[in-house]
Chain A
Amino acid sequence: MIIGLFNDWVVVVLMMIGLYIVIAHGNLIKKLVGLSIFQTSVYIFYISMAKVEGGSAPILAESIKQFSNPLPHVLILTAIVVGIATTALGLALVVRIKEAYGSVEEEDIQHLDNQTQTESPKKVLEGDQA
């Protein structure tokens, strides 16, 4: 039992480390790092359920009879692409937030927002016109 589920438990721990970073840390880049760890751990979870003892990579060949399950591999290929797409967009947002607020710390940004709440809304400093 310990051996049979050991893999899953490691994955759960990794996932939770990622999730903890996302929630607890105030630095926007670090949040994205945490999100990446979270997602990568999910990939590991999918891939490890595809493994068959004694199986080999799902590429057909004469001598091999037992293969690991190809379907989770396909799903995770898609999920990796989704992951990089999210990361790229998140980073683009971080760059713009840095330009607009001058900081990438959650605390500073919320502080600045509370200040402007009372004043009239400011326009974003568009880099394009600069």
Chain B
Amino acid sequence: MKDLFSVVMLLGIYSLLSASFFVAMDAVDVAFTEAAVGAGISTLLMLVVITMTGRSEKTTRHKPMLALLVVVFTGGVLIYGTFDMPYFGLADAPIHNHVSPRYINDSMQEIGIPNIVTSVLASYRAFDTFGEVVVIFTAGIGVLALLSVVRRPEDSDKITAINDSMHERYLVIRIVTKILLPFILLFALYVQFHGDFGPGGGFQAGVIFAAAIILYTMLFGLNTARKVINQSFIQFIAAVGVLLYGCVGLVSLLNGGNFFDYNVLTNDPIVGQHIGILIIELGVGCTVASVMIIIFFNFAGRREMQQHNKKVHSSDLESL
């Protein structure tokens, strides 16, 4: 397929399909995330990039033979490896009998929340999740370092003019969005604080929150959105999210426990676990939401600058 637009849309559909597969496989949390991230954010980002780089692919291909060779070989090794795998769905496979029974049987006494995925994510393997937050923070900083644009006030005035003319249309969508926005934000908050009981948690909530802001930006223009959400403020929130998460660990160090040992946060270990999970989920939510917004703003800002430069360039030519 040469048309990148359809390629990206198909990728989105693939993500959505795998998300529904995850539901069928009982992985509701993962499905939620994959739907929000794979089908939502990453498709959106790819579309934004396509508007900047052109939507058709050149026909020439290099070295398909070599690629085929590598792929067949790797695939062969993998298929070879599958022959000794435990069969699908068997309850006596080693993974179901060594580490995970403790999570299933004891997490209610040890952590005290019904969603086992959240217990493992936020307490047993809290450090992995901390690493995950740092990964997303790194991506945010990386995108900032690559794409951030220093803007001058006179430029932004002109850009606003272009934007306003563009966004005058689509009246119906704008009104519908305005009505929907509070509900999306509310839903994000619900997902944030309901992660202990059902599927959800800081990460999903952050993505939904960011999606609401991104929707607003797409319909009302980048400049309007920038007035609502200040750039340095959003960077501040991203950093605070990571720090908040880390500070929970530091506080448990000071209280005499190991890093991320929530039991020592209060006198009652279960209450301690609850508080710890609540705060770190909040940290995750802050960082994820703000990094997603940073990433989108910078992509869109870059695009705006390119269009602006093109406009200036063509008007220069005309004046010649």
Contacts and interface: CB of A to CB of B under 8 A. Distances in A.
User: Are any A and B Cβ atoms less than 8 Å apart in their complex?
Assistant: yes
Interface of A: 1, 3-9, 12-13, 15-16, 19-20, 23-27, 29-30, 32-33, 36-37, 40, 43-44, 47-61, 66-78, 80-89, 91-96, 98-99, 104-107, 127-128, 130
B7 interface: yes
30 contacts: A8-B88, A9-B79, A12-B82, A19-B70, A20-B68, A24-B64, A29-B50, A40-B15, A40-B34, A51-B88, A52-B90, A52-B91, A53-B89, A53-B91, A57-B199, A60-B107, A66-B91, A68-B25, A73-B29, A74-B125, A77-B132, A82-B135, A84-B38, A86-B139, A89-B139, A92-B147, A95-B146, A98-B53, A106-B62, A127-B302
Contacts of B54: 104
Interface residues of B, number: 96
Given A24-B63, A26-B62, A77-B203, A95 B142 contact: no
B215 interface: no
Given A57-B26, A85-B138, A99-B306, A52 B89 contact: yes
Contacts, number: 274
The B interface, classified by DSSP as helix, strand, loop or mixed, is helix
Interface string B77-112: 011001101111111010110011001100110000
A55 B87 contact: no
B95 A50 contact: yes
Q: Which 6 A-B pairs have the closest CB atoms?
A: A4-B87, A85-B139, A24-B67, A53-B89, A23-B67, A68-B26
A51 to B, nearest CB: 5
Contacts of A87: 42, 45-46
B21 interface: yes
A81 B70 contact: no
Contacts of A26: 57-58, 60-62
Contacts of A72: 27, 95
Given A59-B116, A66-B91, A76-B30, A12 B78 contact: yes
